Structure 1
Amino acid sequence: MRNSRYRSVAPALAEQRQAFRHSVILQRASIRHHAAPGHDAQLLDLSIYGCRIATEASFEANDRLWLRFEGSRPIAATAIWCNGNHIGCRFDAPIEKTLFRTLTLVVD
């Protein structure tokens, strides 16, 4: 009887992002380490505080990065997590709202 009882399970961790991630319109990006050549990347989703990037280049969590989206200046960021070819990045400072609007798909 003891083995057939259900054990209590801790609740799943809640989403820890500061802001909802939005789909993007312009997906081309580049990513690089400081003073290194850039690598092609694809911007997958975006908030004003961070983004998710796909690239074939090798990066690790806590790496300092420079990101460049089509039509933007370089943006300083930190890799928070890396999973295969996907990288979750946190920007050093929130990006400008005009750049955010340019890059995101707004659905009414």
Structure 2
Amino acid sequence: MTYIDQTSLSPEDAPRKARHTVLIGVKLRRPGETWFTSRVSNLSETGFRLHSFVNLKPGMTIWVMFSGFDGRRATVMWTKGSEAGCMFEAPLHKAIYEHIMRVSTH
């Protein structure tokens, strides 16, 4: 498993919210590339676990798009095989998070 060094993150940047298990199809892209399909298997207001066969590295900026919403910037924090732990640049608004969680359970 490869991690990004989080010692440079300020306490307010560190992920603190509990993640909830989901299975959500998302669109993903790396800067300068086109969108492709991936999956999110857990989600919190501050981050998510991504399953994708695209080459990702800790520290890389990506964009993730949930159905019905614009793309959101996130940073890859760790990778292990086809999984990556990612942190949103800015936490999801509570209403957006709750909506995504509600529609993902149907």
Asked if TM exceeds 0.5, the reply is yes
| Other-structure match for 1:98 | 95
2:66 equivalent to 1:69: yes
The answer on 1:54 being equivalent to 2:54 is no
Cα deviation for residue 98 of structure 1 reads 1.7
TM-score between both structures, scaled by the size of structure 2: 0.77
Correspondences of 1:1-108 after superposition (within 5 Å): 17-24=15-22, 27-104=24-101
The answer for unaligned runs of 5 or more in structure 1 is: 1-15
TM-score between both structures, scaled by the size of structure 1: 0.76
Runs of 4+ in 1 over 6 A off after TM superposition: none
Consecutive unaligned residues of structure 2, counting only runs of 5 or more, are: 1-13
Structure 1 pair 103–24 and aligned structure 2 pair: CA distance change class (3 A): farther
Secondary structure of residue in 2 paired with 1:44: strand
Contact 2:61 2:73 in 1 (8 A): yes
Return the index of the structure with the highest Cα Rg: 1
Query: Structure 1 vs Structure 2: percent identity of aligned residues?
Result: 24
Alignment coverage as a number of residue pairs: 91
Work out the CA distance in 2 between the residues paired with 1:101 and 1:20: 14
RMSD of aligned Cα (Å): 2.1
